[in-house]
A and B are shown apart, each in its own frame.
Chain A
């Protein structure tokens, strides 16, 4: 059979199997899959042995196809979802600092949360959003949500739905407009932050659902940043934490914590060290650490095993690549500039 036929057969097989599994899920005759700890260890050993085999093959001069690397990264991401082993997570000082800042807030304090991201960044930032909102509502902190990205308020709404499912929060029966409010999106990037420093209502005259700002009890007396006790920015780029620091923190003295994608996080550490940020959650790791501190395991913790496995695979292939490079004797010609 030709390669083309094989490819079409594989696609057909994937679609058929997926359809059967989907029907099984809908019909309830196929449930979640979970490996026992013994099977999980065997799977890890098998992956390790196959990496050793690839290293040996590579040292013998037989280079692997790039698709093999993709396959291993894929396996490293997928398999941990089914493993019943846990990973130890260590709390970093910046996450502890954010948690301590929240802990120090008395009940009834007003927390401004800006959702400055969209669905592509949700795997990293949504776990942070969910655990942050859950913590605030559990601790009787008043949450004011805004978004400088068009899809931010929608992400906030999704996170709120998850947080409100928490039994402890349900027992408090939080009211929209009294305990939390979603003021929606406003275009204008850092100029919105600047105007909010003088008058928040001028930028958000109506909330996400169309209610007038002055009709919402929670924000009726919130004029500007001086009425906000703490703020948290979930950011995936521009506008994001940097703009909040430059305008809200340095000009208006707002106390700000950051929740950033991992790409952005290294650029935020100077702000953290200079005291411009009060706490930072960096990437999925930051989300997992915050979940650990708040005592509620969420997606951040669940995803961390896949994250760690994928990193180990990347490191393994970096080692394999370098070993092959030095063993193949190509170092000499490169040094000689050939």
Chain B
């Protein structure tokens, strides 16, 4: 059985890779199998984890036993019916005449998600990032607890350069996204510096993406030449 599984995986992998040569029946078959199995898999996972695992066992809790063998009965969570009702309303989309009803659960999802994300993003992605950007450029003046005097402590050159780059990058990047003033003169030059920083950021991101995609290919090659053919030592 294990041999069969390895062969099926290898042939499907080769089928997908064959698209690099040109579109062909082998590729189409592999793609269709992948899409079909993925859809089936996710349906089963979501059914058992959400409909059965959360809703059914929440509303009709199964009997459990403690170490002494006594039955532990948990109270049913009737609030789950609200979620189930909203879920059923979402399915009304399938009936064109009353499809508008599906907007209610959708509105609930959009509203609650917006509220939650507003707090999360404001705290983690805005305030903490602003805090992380405001840092000493060259050094600090901490108070010596024994003498009570303030002594200048210089930062290492590496940190000074890094902090200056962050300062210039953040400032010029913000200037680039300020559209209420025409990008000319000093303002335009600063915006151009901002574009430079953005390009470097996108370039680094693209480089990482290439690395990620190569990693996937490496994983498949390791499977083909290692697990399947056993040629890799």
Contacts and interface: CB of A to CB of B under 8 A. Distances in A.
A33 B225 CA distance: 10
Interface residues of B, number: 51
Interface stretch (B146-154, B176-184, B201-209): B201-209
Given A77-B218, A187-B54, A311-B210, A32 B20 contact: no
A34 B209 CA distance: 30
Nearest to B228: A22
B201 A266 contact: yes
A97 interface: no
A313 to B, nearest CB: 10
A25 to B, nearest CB: 3
Contacts of A25: 229-231
B215 A33 contact: no
Interface stretch (A56-64, A108-116, A162-170, A272-280): A272-280
Interface string A168-208: 00000000000000000101101000000000000000000
A3 to B, nearest CB: 10
B142 interface: no
Interface string B192-219: 0000000001001100111110111111
Contacts of A33: 231-233
Interface string A261-286: 11101100011011110000011110
Contacts of A18: 10, 228-229
A274 B204 contact: no
Contacts of B10: 18
Contact of A123 (B218, B229, B230): B218
A81 B225 contact: yes
B114 interface: no
B230 A31 contact: yes
Interface residues of A, number: 61
Given A246-B124, A303-B215, A78 B129 contact: no
The majority secondary structure among interface residues of chain A is: helix
Contact of A77 (B132, B217, B231): B217
A81 B229 contact: no
B215 to A, nearest CB: 4
The majority secondary structure among interface residues of chain B is: helix
Interface in A29-46: 30-34
B128 interface: yes
A48 interface: no
A122 B222 CA distance: 12
B208 A282 contact: yes
A266 B208 contact: yes
Given A274-B131, A284-B211, A311-B210, A123 B124 contact: no
Interface in B13-42: 14, 20-21, 26
B107 to A, nearest CB: 19
A215 interface: yes
B53 interface: yes
Contact of A283 (B7, B49, B215, B231): B215
A307 interface: yes
Contact of A34 (B204, B228, B233): B233
Contacts of A282: 208
28 contacts: A18-B10, A18-B229, A26-B3, A32-B230, A70-B20, A78-B225, A81-B225, A123-B220, A150-B45, A187-B49, A187-B54, A212-B64, A246-B121, A246-B123, A247-B120, A250-B120, A262-B209, A263-B209, A266-B205, A266-B208, A274-B132, A275-B132, A283-B211, A284-B218, A303-B218, A306-B214, A306-B218, A314-B210
The 6 nearest A-B residue pairs measured at CB: A123-B219, A274-B132, A32-B233, A25-B230, A262-B212, A262-B211
Interface of B: 3, 7, 10, 14, 20-21, 26, 45-46, 49-50, 53-54, 64, 67, 116, 120-121, 123-125, 128-129, 131-132, 166, 201, 204-205, 208-212, 214-222, 225-226, 228-233
Interface of A: 11, 14, 18, 21-22, 24-26, 30-34, 67, 70, 73-74, 77-78, 81-82, 120-124, 150, 185, 187-188, 190, 212, 215, 245-247, 249-251, 261-263, 265-266, 270-271, 273-276, 282-285, 299, 303, 306-307, 310-311, 314
